[in-house]
Amino acid sequence: MLRIARFLPLLLLAVVTFPAICAGPAIAAGGLIVTHRIPAALALEAVGATVAACAAKGYQESAVLLDANGNTQASLRGDGAGLTTLENADHKAYTAVSYNEDTGAIVARAAAGGDTSPAINRFPRLIMAQGAVVIKVNGEVVGALGASGAPGGEKDEACARAGVAKIAGQLK
């Protein structure tokens, strides 16, 4: 009985910590970090819904969906959309995913004299323009959807929100 009492604290520690070790963060074997991406079919659906939402309002729109690392997953230049709209939509999405925040919030903070990183004026793909929204799943940013071509960033952002709304129920 005395021997068991001596090892009881170690036994209790093992029982308590083993489940926590097994259920740890999303790190795979070998220390790799597990990330999530929006499937290609859903990315295409989102950019299509964005362009369609703006077309329904008479705007010639382009849309770009980037993953959380800023890589293009899908892009669509709508009928009649200007040449620069695709690049502008990409820059808006890149800014949103870089800051993990909708560009409308970044622009509003800057207009109110709030803090915005000086990097936004130095790096080529960062842009101070409304029109992109981040896409989150369970609080994790998995991408951003940028739109360009409507007469005003708030209209671009509304179309991007429509694109995200189209696929939101399928993101888990």
56 and 134 fall within a common domain = yes
What confidence score (pLDDT) does residue 65 get? Answer: 98
Please tell me the distance from the alpha carbon of residue 87 to that of residue 85, in angstroms, as a whole number.
6
Per-residue pLDDT tens over the stretch 88-102: 999 999 999 999 999
88 and 159 fall within a common domain = yes
| Single-letter amino acid code for the residue at 122 | R
150 and 116 fall within a common domain = yes
Please tell me the distance from the alpha carbon of residue 56 to that of residue 163, in angstroms, as a whole number.
13
3-state DSSP assignment of residue 28: coil
47 and 78 fall within a common domain = yes
157 and 133 fall within a common domain = yes
Tokens coding 3: 């021997």
Q: Give me the mean pLDDT over the 134-158 stretch.
A: 97
Please tell me the distance from the alpha carbon of residue 50 to that of residue 31, in angstroms, as a whole number.
38
113 and 68 fall within a common domain = yes
Q: Based on the structure, what is the number of domains in the chain? A: 2
126 and 51 fall within a common domain = yes
Q: Between 118 and 169, whose confidence is greater?
A: 169
Question: 49: which residues sit within 8 A by CB, 6+ positions away?
Answer: 162, 163, 165, 166, 167
Q: Give me the mean pLDDT over the 138-153 stretch.
A: 97
Q: Give me the mean pLDDT over the 139-153 stretch.
A: 97
Instruction: Calculate ∠ Cα 75-140-146, nearest 5°.
Output: 25
65 and 142 fall within a common domain = yes
108 and 154 fall within a common domain = yes
Q: Give me the mean pLDDT over the 141-162 stretch.
A: 98
Please tell me the distance from the alpha carbon of residue 9 to that of residue 36, in angstroms, as a whole number.
40
Dihedral angle sign, alpha carbons of residues 35, 40, 45, 50: positive
Per-residue pLDDT tens over the stretch 70-126: 999 999 999 999 999 999 999 999 999 999 999 999 999 888 887 777 777 788 899
- Decide: residue 36, CB within 10 A, 0-12 exposed, 13-18 middle, 19+ buried: middle
Q: Between 20 and 166, whose confidence is greater?
A: 166
CATH code (residue 70): 3.30.450.150
pTM of the model: 0.81
Per-residue pLDDT tens over the stretch 6-32: 544 443 334 333 333 333 335 666 788
22 and 103 fall within a common domain = no
Buried b (16+ CB within 10 A) or exposed e, 69-90: ebeebbbbbbeebeeebbbbbb
What confidence score (pLDDT) does residue 5 get? Answer: 47
Owning domain of residue 20: 2-31
Q: Between 99 and 33, whose confidence is greater?
A: 99
74 and 16 fall within a common domain = no
What confidence score (pLDDT) does residue 26 get? Answer: 59
Sole residue written with tokens 């940028």: 146
Please tell me the distance from the alpha carbon of residue 164 to that of residue 167, in angstroms, as a whole number.
6
64 and 20 fall within a common domain = no
